Amino acid sequence: MMTSDSNINIIRVAETDSTSKEIVRELGDGVQSSKYISVLSADYQTAGRGQLGSRWEAERGKNLLFSLMAWPVGVPVGRQFRLSQAMAVAVRDALASYADGFTIKWPNDIYFGGGKVCGTIIETTWKGGMVERFVMGVGINVNQRVFLGDAPNPLSLWQIVGRETDRDELLGRVLERFAALYGQLQAGDETEVVRCYDNHLLWREGMHRYSDSDGEFEAEFVSVAPDGRLTLRDADGRERRYYFKEVKHVLKS
């Protein structure tokens, strides 16, 4: 067992189509308790997804591929992004124990310089305006040395630190940090999640280039709302607000 938290149930499989689909098949109709977090980790996915429906490239047995499922209490649909922020902070903090320089790229990717190390997809069900269940699919590039797909900027922990990393150890660090932050959210305290997320956000300070449907522009970070909406202030002092997929960082090549 990689974590001392007895309320975290970990299932390991060698291969699946998708860890998120598999955990729902395994536990979707199981015990619905806010006390427990269930995790399914796989050595390989045959149909793992990235954002925008893209394929997440991951060599067999080299990376950390898992999905986490939980049944929260007291999380309104309009504040569900706090859950995604908690995972982003947990992954960033876990990776930071191996090297300095990891940041969170809004909404929840983990970057090192211009390279993407981790991506997360969250799926929720809700009832009566409250989040009933969420499933987070997480892919962390750990020990893969070469990427052959067409993704523009994949980067692994091995490429950063130059050595193999124990995937179970990394998973344990992610889950322990997430469990602590999730417990705070369950208690109605968002302070640490928001503070840590904002402090480690890519382009937290200064003017940077972004792109929306009208083209490229320069702006500075203002805030991220509980529903995930990003507020930027452009060079003319005008505040611009965006939901996911409505604006992009323009990263240097």
Cα angle for residues 77, 83, 85 (degrees, 5° grid): 120
| Judgement on whether residues 124 and 68 belong to the same structural domain of the protein | yes
The pLDDT value recorded for residue 85 is: 98
First to last CA, the chain: 41
Q: What is the pLDDT of residue 1?
A: 37
Cβ-Cβ contacts under 8 Å for 165 (sequence gap 6 or more): 98, 142, 143, 157, 158
Mark whether 175 and 213 lie in a shared domain.
no
Task: Give burial (CB, 10 Å; 0-12/13-18/19+) of 228.
Answer: buried
pLDDT in tens, 33-74: 667 899 999 999 998 665 445 556 889 999 999 999 999 988
Give the pLDDT of residue 66. 98
Asked if 182 and 230 sit in the same domain, the reply is: no
Are residues 221 and 187 both part of a single domain? Answer: no
Residue bearing tokens 């889950």: 175
3-state class percentages of the chain: helix first, strand second, coil last, to nearest 5: 25, 35, 40
What's 17's domain CATH number?
3.30.930.10
Query: Which segments of 46-171 are extended strands (E)?
Result: 64-70, 102-105, 109-112, 115-127, 130-140
Tokens in use for 238? Answer: 């005008």
Answer whether residue 1 is part of any domain: no
* Contact predicate 101/113, CB 8 Å: yes
- pLDDT of 5 reads 63
CATH of the domain at 226: 2.30.30
Task: Supply the pTM of this predicted model.
Answer: 0.93
Pair (82, 156) in one structural domain: yes
In a domain? residue 2? no
Average pLDDT by consecutive 10-residue portion of the chain (253 residues)?
67 96 85 80 83 66 97 91 97 98 97 96 93 96 91 93 97 97 93 97 96 97 96 98 95 76
Predicted confidence at residue 52, as pLDDT, reads: 46
Tokens 């190390």 found at: 117
In this predicted structure, what is the pLDDT of residue 94? 98
Q: Which of 120, 102, 107 is nearest to 157 (CA)?
A: 102
- In terms of domains, do 136 and 219 share one? no
Residues 128 and 241 reside in one and the same domain: no
Number of structural domains (the chain) is 2
Domain that holds residue 242: 207-249
Residue 68 lies in a domain: yes
Assess whether 143 and 192 both reside in one domain.
yes
Q: 217 and 236: one domain?
A: yes
How far apart are the C-alpha atoms of 166 and 55, rounded to whole Å?
24
Same domain, 41 and 117: yes
Are residues 102 and 67 part of one domain? yes
Please tell me the distance from the alpha carbon of residue 12 to that of residue 8, in angstroms, as a whole number.
Answer: 13
